[in-house]
Amino acid sequence: MSEGTHFAITSGSGQQLGANYDGEGVNFAIFSAHAERVELCLFDESGQHEIARLELPEFTHEVWHGYVPGLKPGALYGYRVYGPYDPENGHRFNPNKLLIDPYARELAGNIDWNEAHFAYDLLHEDKDLTFDTRDSAPFMPKCRVIDPNEFDWQDSNRPNIAWPNTVIYETHVKGFTQLNSALPEALRGTYEGMGHKATVDYIKSLGITSVELLPVHWFPDDQHLLDKGLKNFWGYNSIGFFAPAPRYYGPRGIQGFRDMVRAFHDAGIEVILDVVYNHTAEGNELGPTLSFKGIDNFSYYRTLPDQHRYYINDTGTGNTVNTSHPRVLQMVMDSLRYWAESMHIDGFRFDLGTILGREPEGFDQRGGFFDAMMQDPVLSKLKLIGEPWDIGPGGYQVGGFPPGWAEWNDKYRDTVREYWKGDNVSTDFAARLLGSGDLYDQRGRRPWASVNFITAHDGFTLNDLVSYNEKHNEENGEDNNDGHNDNRSYNYGAEGPTEDEGINAVRERQKRNFLATLFFSHGTPMLLAGDEFGRSQLGNNNGYCQDSEISWVHWDNLPASAEALREFTRHVIRLRAEQPLLRRENWRDGMEIKWFNAGGGFQQEEQWEEGSTLGVYIGRPDLQAEEGIWHDVLMLINPFEGTVPFRIPQFGEGGWVLELTTSDSDKHGLVITKEKDFELEGRSIALFRRP
C-alpha cells in the first residue's frame, strides 16, 4: 500500500464484529454504545505511517461498521473513537489515542510506553479529569487483518479425553522450552518449540493427557516492571482476547501456534488455555487508554454505582470486566469460540473465575456468563475449569460453581501440604483424598470436578516446598514483600540446597509422598511442569516477573535423584490410568470405603481427633470379574517421622501384595496373608493390592 492509495468505504454489515475478510475486501465492525463517531485508521506495512483515515459510515444496534473493498489480509489498522470525555459519568473517549480492536486476531508490534498512552495529563494535579491531546499511534501495536481459512488443519483426530481419565500438566510456552537443548535453538521459547516432537514425546511419556498453558492472549509488559529490568512472564494482563502473544512466535509466526496444537492432537494430548477475562491491562482510572477504555469505558468495565469515575476492583488489578453487559459477554463468548473453532483449543481455565459469575448484586451461579456457557453448543462440550475465587465480597466459591464445571481446589493443596508436614488434619485429608465429596457431591457433579494440585505456577515448586521454610523473592525488586507468606512448606533442617544426605533423603521421600497422594486421590490431578524431576525456582514463590533462569525449566546436568523421581511419577500416573479405583468416576458407583487405625481395627472418632496414621480400604465388588483390574486396594499412610507397626487387616481372599511404597527400603512384591504388623516407615505411603 503506497501513500497514494485511495480507499473507499461502504456501509458493510454490523453482524459480525472485528475485521473480517470475505475474498473481496474487509468488513469492520466495532461495538460502542456511547460513541459519537468512529474512525478506522489504516497503516503501511511498517505500522509507522497512517495511510488512510476512514469514518465508519453506519451505526446499527450500537455497532459501528463499514466495508473497505480491495483490502486484503495483512493490512494493519486501529481505531479512533469520538465521544464525551466525562470520567465522572464513566466516559473516557479521546480520539487522540489509537485503540486496539477488541476482536483483533493478530497484533503487530509492541506497546512502547509513553505519556501519550494516557488520556489525561499525567503531571496535572487534577489527574484523569484533564484531557491529553498527544497522539498515541506511534507507540501502539497495530491490529492485523488475517485470513482465518489460510491454515489447513488436517486435524481430524482432536482428542476427546473423558474427564475421569484426565491428567493435567500446567506449563508455560517459553519457560518450558527456553533451555531445552533437545530443541533447535531457533525454536526455543516459541509455540513451535512447545509443539516440537521432543517436547510432545516427553510430555506423552509421562502419561499426561492435557497440557494447560499459562496465558497466551496478547499482553503487554507493565511499565513498572520494565523500569526494574523485569517483564510480565506469566501473562495475566490481557488486552487482546483473540490474538496469540507474538512474543512466542517462531519462524512460522501465528501458524506456529496452530502447528503446536496440531502436534499435541496428533499425540492424543489436549490443549487447555489459561484465560484472563476478569480484567484488562488498562488498570484503574489512572491507567493507560489502549482499547476498551477509549471504545466504551462505561459498557466494558464495572464502575462504582455512585462514582462512575472509579472502577469496582474485585480483581486486585484496578478494573473488572463487566460481563453483565450483553455485548461484553458476547465478546468473551466470541473469543472462546474463536479459540475453540479456529485454533482447535480443547478447554479453558478461567483466571479469577468468580468474577465472571458476578452480577451487580454479587456472585450468582445462574449469572449470565454461566448460563451462556452451559447452553452454548460448542463451549459446553469443552473442559471448563474455574479458579473459584477473587478478592471481592463473597469471592471465595470453591464448590460453588454450577454443574458442568471443574474447579481448582485450593483446599486440597493446603490440606495435603499440612498433612505431610505433620499437622493434625486427618479428617480433612481423608475428604480430599477421596474426591472432596463435601464440596462436589451435589447437583449431579462428579469427583472430577475437583482439580487437585499440590503446586501451581503461583507459589513454590514441589522441590522448593520441601526445601524452604521462607520465600526468597528478592530478585522481584519488592524487598521480598510480594508473594504468599503462608506456604505450609518445610525445609527439614536446612534452608535451600544442602549436601546433607539425610535431609536430601527426607526431601525426596516427601516429593514421592506428594506425587503419590496427588495421583491416588479421586478428582482430576494437575501436575506443575518440572515437579516430576524436582525443578527449583531457588525459593522464589512468585515468578510472575521472572522471564529468566529462575522461572525457566532447567533440563541439563540434573542429579540422579531427578531421573528416579521422574520414573516414580510415570509409575504412579500409569497405575492411576490402569486402575479405576484410583480415579473414581461417579459418587454412585457402589464403592466401599473403610478407614483403619494402626491396630488394624476401624478408625474411631477419638483417633480421627488425635490425628494419626491412616489406613483406607477402597473396594468395588463389580470390578471383580475384570481381568487385570483391581477390585480392592489397601492404602497405609504415615505422615510422622517415626516408623509405625501397622496391623494389616485380613478379610476377603488371598491376603495383600505390596504394590508400591514411597519409603526408601523397597519391599515391592511383599505378600501378607495373615494378620501381622507391617513396619510402615516414617513419612511414607504403602499401597497394597490382591495377589
Q: Collapse the DSSP code of 296 into the 3-class scheme (helix H, G, I; strand E, B; otherwise coil) and give the result.
A: helix
Handedness of CA 361, 411, 547, 187 (dihedral sign): negative
Beta-carbon contacts of 264 under 8 Å, excluding residues fewer than 6 positions away, are 195, 200, 211, 270, 271
Q: How far apart are CA 575 and CA 106, in angstroms?
A: 43
567 is catalytic: no
Grid cell at residue 2: 503506497
Q: Which residues pair with 52 in a beta bridge?
A: 42
HSE-up of residue 503 (Cα within 13 Å, Cβ side): 15
Q: Which residue has the cell 525457566?
A: 552
CA-based radius of gyration for the chain: 27
Exposed, middle or buried: residue 385 (CB in 10 Å: 0-12, 13-18, 19+)? Answer: buried
Please identify which of the residues 212, 387, 508, 532 carries the catalytic annotation.
Answer: 387
For the chain, the distance separating the N- and C-terminal CA atoms, rounded to the nearest angstrom, is 76
CB 352 within 8 A of CB 398: no
Q: Which residues pair with 31 in a beta bridge?
A: 63
- Structure letter (DSSP) for residue 600: S
Element (H, E) at 567: helix 560-578
Element (H, E) at 293: helix 292-300
Ramachandran category for residue 479: left, alpha or beta (phi over 0 → left; psi -120 to 50 → alpha): left
Beta-carbon contacts of 212 under 8 Å, excluding residues fewer than 6 positions away, are 168, 169, 170, 171, 272, 273, 274, 349, 385, 526
Q: Collapse the DSSP code of 425 into the 3-class scheme (helix H, G, I; strand E, B; otherwise coil) and give the result.
A: coil
Strands lying side by side in the sheet with 592-596: 592-596, 614-619, 632-638, 684-689, 656-661, 671-672
Q: Collapse the DSSP code of 251 into the 3-class scheme (helix H, G, I; strand E, B; otherwise coil) and give the result.
A: coil
Could you give the residue ranges of the DSSP H alpha helices within 134-289?
173-177, 191-194, 197-206, 223-227, 255-266
- The 10 Å CB-count burial string (b at 16+, else e) for 301-318 is bbbeeeebbbbbbbbebb
CB 241 within 8 A of CB 343: no
Grid cell at residue 611: 490425628
Please identify which of the residues 351, 390, 464, 681 carries the catalytic annotation.
Answer: 351
Q: How far apart are CA 565 and CA 274, in angstroms?
A: 27
Q: Collapse the DSSP code of 485 into the 3-class scheme (helix H, G, I; strand E, B; otherwise coil) and give the result.
A: coil
Grid cell at residue 230: 523485569
Q: Which residues pair with 594 in a beta bridge?
A: 617
387 is catalytic: yes
CB 542 within 8 A of CB 236: no
Q: How far apart are CA 513 and CA 536, in angstroms?
A: 18
Grid cell at residue 162: 473423558
Find the Cα–Cα–Cα–Cα dihedral 186, 189, 194, 198, rounded to 10°: 60
Q: Which residues are known catalytic residues? A: 351, 387
